[in-house]
Structure 1
Amino acid sequence: MKKIFHYIAICIMGLMFSCNDSYLERYPLAELAPENYFRNAKELENYTNTFYDQLPDALAIHYNNPHQADDEARNTLPDEFRGTRITPGSGGGWSWSALRRINIYLAHSHQCEDEAARLLYDGVARFFRVYFYFDKVVRFGDVPWYDAVLGVDDEKLKKPRDSRKFVFDKMLEDIDFAIEHGREQKSEQLITKWTALALKSRMCLFEGTFRKYHGLGDWEEILQESVRASEQLMEAGVYRIYTGNPNAVYQELFTAEEANPDEMILARQYTEAVPLVHTANFHILSASFGRPGMTKSVVNSYLMADGTRFTDIPGYETMTFYEETQNRDPRMAQTIRTPGYRRIGSNQTSVPDFATSVTGYQYVKYILSPAYDEGRNINDMPIFRYAEVLLNYAEAKAELGTLLQPDVDRSIKLLRDRVDMPNLNVDVANANPDPFLLSEYPHVTKGANTGVLLEIRRERRVELVKEGHRYRDLMRWKEGARLARPFYGMYFPGAGEYDLDQDGVIDLVIYEGSAPTPVPGRQYQRLGELVLENGRNGGRIVNLPDITKKWDEEKDYLYPIPLDELLLNDNLEQNDGWNKTGG
């Protein structure tokens, strides 16, 4: 039976030490003053449990925009894609209450005489301080570094932003402490030594590649840190890639009621016992929440089952749904509905539902049986998993120019072995870089390692799709302009009747003019409402063709600092290109 959700303790402690986002200097109003708390291991544990609310919930992982970026189209677009972000008056992610709670703990944990407990929970606190600042650096770049609770008149309240390089150095100090003192016993719900290594692997890959592609310098050593953290986790032998039936095992990872302990380093836990449930079934299968659909760009990225490139096949651009889904990487059929799909708990095959997917490529990742519809999912959601660490390792080494075939064999190969896909061959990839991927990533490092870098990006996209990584990946690779490209769906030659899964039964009718007399079991889409890129001459489905999408290379990689913060602290400087005064 599933364990009760660990993070519930945050509610009680959040009330005991409540705080205001706007004021770093205020001590919390509390019945228990900090000087009288933090006296034993249990009190340290209870307080550090409040930090877990920083972790993403299921909605943030599988649904929230812009996390899915160009992997997913919907019937709405976030401001990031439309180029309509403005400098907010307040809010905008410039919130410091979570950091203040952490610093309160670290200022008082010495009151506990149990040194082993103090080091353990100090490590947890410093992990979460890194997690907090990682988000801030990704969002704003330079930010002020605070590692103490400030008094009301403290001059540091008016300090300018510290450089992202200074802040990142402080983050490295914290994460190394968390690694050194973290619990050795692995847990899918608690922060451990292994969670800290996974975070270091992730954050150093982000920062190293961001510095490289944005021309900030000092990136090589940061990528080396990512490699070292990944290797330490890999060589510990604590985690492995979960294996099983190649045609089901990948999907099983994300539909399991309990996070798989072999591969999931940290997961958000859900259970009916509390109850604490999420809404993956509802958001993916409902017509009311954006009708999310995978984009054709992702579909084109999946390799053929024999390891060759789908986009090398003549005429791939105009293949029908049935044709393009045959003999592909098995992860495709475990991520979206393909011909022959049977939902968990059903013996009937189902084709994509165009009423709930704007592209026709309908997700099945995270989808449970109909019994869990209406917002009742209890499958745990991935936050850190071992597959990502392997991908981080391979990419960091490739960017450094040190990736060799044995490095691929201990990383990418394990992911492909899971689904019986051929291994990535470094020499073959570099001898013939994929033209399709070159068009997808025009800023990729050009050189002897270009081909394998592109293939690792392919692998990352396919393996981690819909897990909330894609937007940050585009930001660090300086490929934000992809968000201004059209989002495409399935190809259709025009109006007509379509047997999507080639079982001899018409599934979809695309019509012009008046709607035909409906036939049970058929879907109907009016041409013009279902927009094809060449109109009645057919083409790919075009998502939201009437909405202009923009990307500003000069400013859109970072978010603006809210105007009220600039007024309160005249030492803060606004990010380039954003309003400084609200004028």
Structure 2
Amino acid sequence: MKNTRIKPITLIAGILVFLQFSCNKLVDLKPINEISDASYWNTPDQFKLAANEFYTYLTSFAQVLYDPTPTASVAGSPHSDIRADFVGQRTPYSNGSYSLLATDVNWNNSYSRLRAINYLLEKAATYPGQADITQYVAEAKFFRAYVYFDLLQQFGGVPIVTKSLSVDSPELQTPRNSRDEVVDLIVKDLEEAIAALPLESAITAANKGRVSKGAAQSFLARVGLYEGTWQKYRNNSARANPLLDKAIANSNTVITSAQYELFAPVALGDSALKYLFILENEKSNPASIGKSANREYILSNRYDYTLRQIRQNVTHTWFGSSLTRKFANQFLSQDGLPIEKSPLFRGYGTTRSEYQNRDNRMRYTMAIDSSYYWDNENPGARSTWLSDAADRASGRGRFNSTVNTVTGYANQKWGTERRLNDNEEGYDWPVIRLAEVYLIYAEATYERNGSISDADLDKSLNRVRNRVNKTMPKLSNAFATANGLDIRTEIRRERNVELFLEGFRIDDLKRWKTAEVEMPQPLLGIRWKGTPFERRWVVNGTSPYPLDAEGNLIFESGRQWSEKNYLLPIPTQQIQLNPQLTQNSGW
């Protein structure tokens, strides 16, 4: 390299992750951007400090719950649920009207990150005490795979760079690598990382939050399922099957490792899943349970009310935000049947009737009309946590879905109930959690074999479903046959419900190759015609939006999806800088 000084690295957020739990000699080191190569890379602690930067690459609230309009300096959020069909927002990415960008901050950031990762790996290769830095080399390989998977999901095949480059490196003028080559590198890096990373139980308290063996195995399972189904639904079973095998093997290893468990404190009962997502060490739930009770998060982007607040107005952005009828219809009735098949479904006679006898996750994910609710305001936050008269008096009162939403369906996931100022939430972001691993195992098994045994359903999907639905019938082959259910549909339903607003929906539709069917469908709201909403929610004497044949509000129509939308376009400026790059098809 021409420059002997290390690339400037932003460490603040990464260091804070670990300062929550420890105070060690790392904080006595000079800022890394003030240290030359001659005085750096001489101790394991220096490699550890450099690796800390990589933790700032982890997915965060800002990258999933928001989707700003991309500009030359602002990154969009390619995995945001806002870009799919369960959230009631109109955006160019959800309705297919977006166009080419000259620059893409996500592309630029990814290659800056890869340079930092590759630089550490190069320095590690010449370090005399290899055994002392094994973990940090493994972390670097994990994060290189993490960054390349993000690029793969967005753009498909991209240039592979495995060393730090200078401005005149010939690699800057090479063609894109194939999709298969990118996936092969991801798998290779992850498998090498897995071999060297410690089990979760072997990570000391001072180092909790670092990547574990289980995290790398879980991420490899995610990659295997994603790319395995991507290839399967594009008629490439020879490529798909080995990847699905990796997804099955790695998810099974995590499941059987006994390193993690679903968050289900008895004291929280059916509300466990609600409070999992807003868990803080300050009182944030009726049982005063803190973060130490959460063994479900296998890898998380860690926040803290005192040391590292989220600094996004999560509660006010998402409590009461609009959802769609399609999402509401995903929730089963308590007899384990979809609403169109279940005699327990109570229809739309009142503003609350469709929520009755449903999967308990519905009433803890969605805000139900006329129910009492709390937020972070004063007054507005909870006082006694008993849902008693005093608690209700301190809250926001009854929720009005015609005032607070544009579709009549509303969200409550990610909204705190404890008193704090805006932007001060301190709950963790689940980069990978055990429930996802269970669902990966179920789906990969079914997609690989065309079937799944009841035993495999019981060790995976049914654990997720029955966590807060103790009396709901398990999904079994006999139950599916007797009720005319499709196992694949039910497996996908579980992902839709369980992983909602965690950054999966649009990528799932792409890998299943169903986006061309699902995404052009109108975004519908509540049943307006013939319900109390018709009397209560009117604009100039009529419905606020057009109605479909069943009397449902049509929030948005005319949505589009074409084959080119399965991948984002390569930024045109990158093609100008490197004419060897080719644009994605259709762009």
- Superposition TM-score tier, normalisation by shorter sequence: 0.7 to 0.9
Residue 183 of structure 2 is aligned to residue 160 of structure 1: no
Confirm whether residue 256 of structure 1 aligns to residue 272 of structure 2.
Answer: no
* Aligned pairs for 1:345-384 within 5 A: 345=382, 347-348=391-392, 350-369=398-417, 371-372=419-420, 374-384=422-432
Q: Is 2:558 aligned against 1:510? A: no
Determine whether 1:571 maps to 2:571: no
**Offset at residue 509 of structure 1 (A):** 2.1
Change beyond 3 A, Cα 1:148–1:35: farther
Distance 1:497 1:118, change over 3 A: closer
1:542 lines up with 2:571 in the alignment: no
Find the residue that maps to 1:267 and give its secondary structure: strand
User: Offset of 1:318 from its aligned partner?
Assistant: 4.9
Deviations 1:409-441, CA, capped at 9 Å, x for gaps:
10012112211132111233256554xxxxxxx
**How far apart in 2 are the matches of 1:453 and 1:140?**
27
Match of 2:253 among 232, 236, 239: 232
Cα pair distance change 1:176/1:352, threshold 3 Å:
farther
Distance change >3 Å, CA 388–CA 274, structure 1 → 2: same
Is residue 418 of structure 1 aligned with residue 467 of structure 2?
Answer: yes
Q: CA, structure 1 residues 59+356, in 2 after alignment: closer, same or farther (shift >3 Å)? A: farther
Tell me the equivalent position of 2:358: 328
Shift of 1:357: 2.1
Please state how far the C-alpha of 1:216 moved relative to its aligned partner.
Answer: 4.0
1:5 and 2:17 equivalent? yes
Write the mapping of 1:65-464 to structure 2, written as runs, cut at 5 A: 67-68=80-81, 69-74=83-88, 76-91=89-104, 93-95=106-108, 96-186=111-201, 189-217=209-237, 218-243=239-264, 244=266, 245-257=268-280, 259=291, 260-277=293-310, 278-285=312-319, 292-313=321-342, 318-338=348-368, 340-343=371-374, 345=382, 347-348=391-392, 350-369=398-417, 371-372=419-420, 374-401=422-449, 402-419=451-468, 420=470, 421-430=472-481, 433-434=484-485, 451-464=486-499
Q: Does the 8 Å contact 2:215/2:299 carry over to 1?
A: yes
Secondary structure class of the residue paired with 1:398: helix
State the one-letter code of the partner of 2:231. Answer: R
Which residue matches 1:26?
none
- When residues 35 and 200 of structure 1 are mapped into structure 2, their CA distance, relative to the original with a 3 A threshold, is farther
Letter in 2 for 1:569: N
- Taking structure 2 as the reference length, what is the TM-score of the superposition? 0.81
Asked if 1 retains the 8 angstrom alpha-carbon contact of 2:85 and 2:519, the reply is: no
Q: Which amino acid aligns with 2:162?
A: D
Please state how far the C-alpha of 1:512 moved relative to its aligned partner: 5.2
Report how far residue 70 of structure 1 moved.
3.8
CA contact (8 A) 1:201 1:225 kept: yes
Taking a change above 3 Å as real, the CA distance of residues 85 and 167 of structure 1, as seen in their structure-2 partners, is same
Distance 1:473 1:160 in 2: 28
* Deviation string, structure 1 residues 356-402 (Cα, Å, up to 9, x no partner): 32222221212112623522222222111000000000000000125
Match of 1:531 among 545, 556, 560: 545
Q: Distance in 2 between matches of 1:468 and 1:510?
A: 32
Q: Kindly provide the amino acid, as one letter, of the partner of residue 233 in structure 2.
A: Y
CA distance change for structure 1 residues 341 and 224 in 2, over 3 Å: closer, same or farther? farther
Paired residues of 2:87 and 2:323 also in contact (CA < 8 A): yes
Mapped to 2, the partners of 1:566 and 1:126 lie a distance apart of 28
Deviations 1:559-583 (A, max 9, x none): 11111211221211111111xxxxx
Shift of the 151–295 alpha-carbon distance from structure 1 to 2, 3 Å rule, reads same
Indicate the SS of the match to 1:255.
coil
How many residues end up aligned between the 2 structures? Answer: 514
* Cα distance per residue 1:311-362 (max 9 Å; x no partner): 2248977554322110111111110123645436163363344333222222
Give per-residue Cα distances to partners, 1:258-287, cap 9 Å, x unaligned: 5453211122222221352342212124xx
- Per-residue deviation at 1:86? 1.6
By how many angstroms is 1:296 displaced?
1.1
Is the CA contact (8 Å cut-off) linking 2:348 and 2:531 kept in structure 1? no
Aligned-CA RMSD value: 2.9
CA offset at residue 298 of structure 1?
A: 1.6
Amino acid at match of 1:257: E
* 8 Å Cα contact 1:99/1:129 also seen in 2: yes
Q: Does 1:56 align with 2:59?
A: yes
Q: Which amino acid aligns with 1:328?
A: R
CA distance in 2, matches of 1:183, 1:118: 13
Q: Which amino acid aligns with 1:269?
A: R
After TM superposition, the structure 1 stretch with the greater mean CA deviation from structure 2, 310-319 or 555-564, is 310-319
1:39 to 39, 42, 49: 42
DSSP-derived class of the 1:94 partner: helix
Kept in 1, the 8 Å contact 2:308–2:426? The answer is: no
**Aligned-partner SS, 1:488:** strand
Distance 1:130 1:433, change over 3 A: farther
Equivalent residue letter for 1:559:
L
Given that 1:38 and 1:111 are in contact with CA atoms closer than 8 Å, whether structure 2 keeps it comes out as no
Shift of 1:477: 0.6
Kept in 1, the 8 Å contact 2:524–2:556? The answer is no
What SS is found at the alignment partner of 2:465?
A: helix
Check whether the contact 1:352–1:361 (CA below 8 A) recurs between aligned residues. Answer: no
Q: Is 2:331–2:358's contact at 8 Å kept on the other side of the alignment?
A: yes
Matches within 5 A, 1:475-490: 475-481=510-516, 482-490=518-526
8 Å CA contact 1:103–1:148 kept in 2: the answer is yes
Task: Give the letter aligned to residue 485 of structure 1.
Answer: Q
Query: What percentage of residue pairs aligned between the two structures are identical?
Result: 28
Corresponding residue of 2:6: none
Task: Give 1:229 shift.
Answer: 0.7
Say if 2:85 and 2:94, in contact at 8 Å, map to a contact too: no
Distance 2:546 2:19 in 1: 47
Structure 2: gaps spanning 5 or more residues: 1-14, 68-76, 282-290, 375-380, 384-390
Partners of 2:424 and 2:41 lie apart in 1 by 37
Q: CA deviation at 1:544?
A: 3.5
User: In the alignment, which residue of structure 2 is the partner of 1:557?
Assistant: 566
Matched-pair contact (CA < 8 Å) for 1:81–1:483? yes
> Does the 8 A contact of 1:210 with 1:477 survive in 2?
yes
Amino acid at match of 2:497: V
Which SS does the other structure have where 2:300 is aligned? Answer: strand
Q: 2:141·2:193 contact (CA, 8 Å) conserved in 1?
A: yes
Contact 2:218 2:254 in 1 (8 A): yes
Aligned match of 1:437: none
Give the aligned residue type for 2:366.
Answer: I
Residue type of the partner of 2:578?
Answer: N
Q: Secondary structure at the match of 1:382?
A: strand
Q: Which runs of 5+ in 1 are unaligned?
A: 18-29, 286-290, 435-450, 499-507, 514-525, 579-583
Cα deviation code 1:47-76 (max 9, x no counterpart): 0001112112213233446621445333x4
Aligned partner letter, 2:188: E
